Structure 1
Amino acid sequence: MAAEQARSWLAPRPPEKIFGDSYLVGFGGLSVVLIDTGAGLVLVDSALPQAAPAILDNVRSLGFDPEDIKFILSTEPHFDHAGGLAALARDTGATAVASARGADGLRAGAHLEDDPQRAYGGAWPRVTQIRVVENGEVIQLGRTAITAHATPGHTMGSMSWSWQACEGEACKAIVFASSLNPVSADGYRYTAPAGAPILDGFAATYRLMDGLDCDILISAHPDNAGEGRYNDRPGACRTYVQRSRGLLATRLANERNGTAR
């Protein structure tokens, strides 16, 4: 990965309260969320390998102790979202949490065979201790229940996460969505036989995301969700899905007419 791209993704941003006890502790181009459950902290995603110290500094600047982080939830086994997971788990004692396929990628520290981006190559620090969760499984910690949602497509192990945050009697449903971009290395074809499970995965993800309670959307890359670091406009999750549907339709058309790379 180019150093310029890494600098762009890791552009410093101050921690920001989202709603209730949920906070952004990530960067200009990569989202990382902190949830205070009252009985421990939860992180969602971990950005690039070199991002771990800055994430922990942001946690501390909010007045929290990184050693209170109990879980680190993973959206996908890619270096830009899981690269820092091994260091964060080591430094905090937290347990990594992922889907079964996501866990395979985290343990390998590399793209899996069915990943559309596999030909990019590259590797990231392996994660060895992982709690595997299934679609619909709920992680309960303190006052917070976080639901795992399988959202395959970008990778077959992608997982999104939702929870409720409250301020007094006002509560909002927050969704941290995995990447839905149909992005691949050159030469990959979604229209080839090997791409059929990926397309089925995207279709299942679209159905799920369309039906989620979603007052606030956080996407793994903030700019995919709209302007700003998160999207709290009505229909944010459905808009996110529509964007992916359009990109995938264009990609499939380009493959069929021979203009895809």
Structure 2
Amino acid sequence: MKRRFTLLGSVVALALSSTALASDAPASRGCADDAGWNDPATPLKVYGNTWYVGTCGISALLVTSDAGHILVDAATPQAGPQILANIRALGFRPEDVRAIVFSHEHFDHAGSLAELQKATGAPVYARAPAVDTLKRGLPDRTDPQFEVAEPIAPVANIVALADDGVVSVGPLALTAVASPGHTPGGTSWTWRSCEGDDCRQMVYADSLTAISDDVFRYSDDAAHPGYLAAFRDTLARIAGLDCEILVTPHPSASGLWNRIGPRAAAPLMDTSACRRYAQGAMQRLEKRLAEEAATSPAGGARP
């Protein structure tokens, strides 16, 4: 079934090619929503002890404490040095990162996991569906994007985490929220960050887009038992989270650059953000299912 998924490869290639142009866009000007995945970003405070240390196009967060830090997401294979430089620019040491967590097992978010683990010595925490992919550096057919997914460097020292597991470092506690759908091992994260006595509920919500290669069909329960139901459950779970400050793996998906940095024009906090994020994803999923219903598995229109 042909559904224009060849666009995915073009988007990936365009995003990666942006590395060559990164030096032409000074990070001090702030990031635009259409920034390349590897365009450099100035590290910024999000709120309290939560800092943005990713690139303009792909998020990475550092949650800090005197007892050590937790790094959230690893961006592309090319972004590792930028993330480490951003951590240092904020006055923190990569060696004080005690745990690494991530959103999902694709190269644009897990691509630097191995490099960052080597630099920090920290274990990587992953839900069970993502563990084998990280160890191999390659996905399997349970991933909707299996045929177009880029490999990553294999990751060692992985700690398997329950669907609602908690990763703790000193006073820090990040709670996993199982978020299968975009990938089988997708995981969102919640925690509290405070400025004095003013504490806010942070949510790092995984990508929720129903994107696949030309073979995978979300509606084919025989080939992928329970996958669609799990995806729907994810959307309901994200919509129901206690959510005051939302960040997503692609910052533009949650309008982050309109809320922090030099381009900020909207409030950082929005208690409806997770609900609206999930509702938009549900609408796109329903559109995708309607497209699948209108076509045969071989790619032709149904009679």
TM-score (norm 1): 0.95
User: What letter is aligned with 2:284?
Assistant: L
| Match among 250, 257, 260 for residue 294 of structure 2 | 257
Q: Are 1:190 and 2:218 an aligned pair?
A: yes
1:27 alignment counterpart: 55
- SS of 1:42 mapped into structure 2: strand
Question: Helix, strand or coil: the match of 2:79?
Answer: helix
Q: How does 1:159-178 map to 2 (within 5 A)?
A: 159-178=187-206
What residue number does 2:241 align with?
A: 212
Provide the residue aligned with 1:14 in structure 2.
Answer: 42
- Name 1:203's counterpart in structure 2: 232
Aligned partner of 1:243: which letter?
G
Deviates more, 1:71-80 or 1:3-12: 3-12
The one-letter code matched in structure 1 to 2:14 is E
Q: Percent identity?
A: 39
Shift of 1:71: 0.7
Within 5 A, what are the aligned runs for 1:77-116? 77-116=105-144
CA pair 229-159 structure 1, distance change in 2 beyond 3 A: farther
Task: Report the counterpart of residue 14 of structure 2 in structure 1.
Answer: 4
Per the TM alignment, residue 149 of structure 1 is displaced from its structure 2 partner at its CA by 0.9
Secondary structure, counterpart of 2:78 in structure 1: helix
Question: 1:247 is matched with which residue?
Answer: 284
Once the two structures are overlaid, the 10-residue window that deviates more, 234-243 or 136-145, is 136-145
Q: Contact 2:38 / 2:78 at 8 angstroms: preserved in 1?
A: no
Counterpart of 1:243 in 2: which secondary structure? helix
The farther-off stretch of 206-215 and 161-170 is 206-215
1:229 deviation in Å? Answer: 6.6
Is 1:222–1:229's contact at 8 Å kept on the other side of the alignment? no
Write the distance in 2 (CA, Å) between the matches of 1:59 and 1:248: 36
1:169-225 Cα distance to aligned partner (Å, 9 max, x none):
100000111111101012321122224422111111122112211101111111212
Q: Secondary structure at the match of 2:257?
A: coil
What is residue 72 of structure 1 aligned with on the other side?
100
More deviation in 82-91 or 198-207?
Answer: 198-207
Contact 1:69/1:94 (<8 A) preserved? yes
Moved more, 105-114 or 49-58: 105-114
Q: Distance in 2 between matches of 1:187 and 1:98?
A: 26
Alignment of 1:222 onto 2:213: no
Counterparts in 2 of 1:53 and 1:227: CA distance versus 1, 3 Å: closer
Could you tell me how far apart the structure 1 residues matched to 2:281 and 2:166 are? 26
The letter for the 2-side match of 1:22 is: T
- Number of residue pairs matched? 261
After superposition, residues 109-124 of structure 1 pair within 5 angstroms as: 109-124=137-152
Q: Distance in 1 between matches of 2:256 and 2:64?
A: 25
Structure 2 unaligned regions, length at least 5? 1-8, 19-35, 260-267
- Structure 2 counterpart of 1:25, which letter? V
SS in 1 for 2:142: coil
Structure 1 residues 202, 91: closer, same or farther in 2, change over 3 A?
A: same
Q: Distance in 2 between matches of 1:3 and 1:209?
A: 30
Which AA in structure 2 matches 1:242? Q
Q: Larger Cα Rg: Structure 1 or Structure 2?
A: 2
* CA spacing shift, 1:81–1:256, aligned 2, 3 Å: same
Cα shift readout 1:10-61 (whole Å, capped 9, x = no counterpart): 1111001011110000112110000102210111000111111110000000
d(CA) in 2 for partners of 1:247, 1:110: 27
Give distance in 1, aligned partners of 2:109 and 2:141. Answer: 18
Q: Which TM-score applies when normalising by structure 2?
A: 0.82
- Residues 105-136 of structure 1, C-alpha deviation per residue, up to 9 Å, x if partnerless? 11121122211100114311000210111122
Structure 1, unaligned runs of 5 or more: none
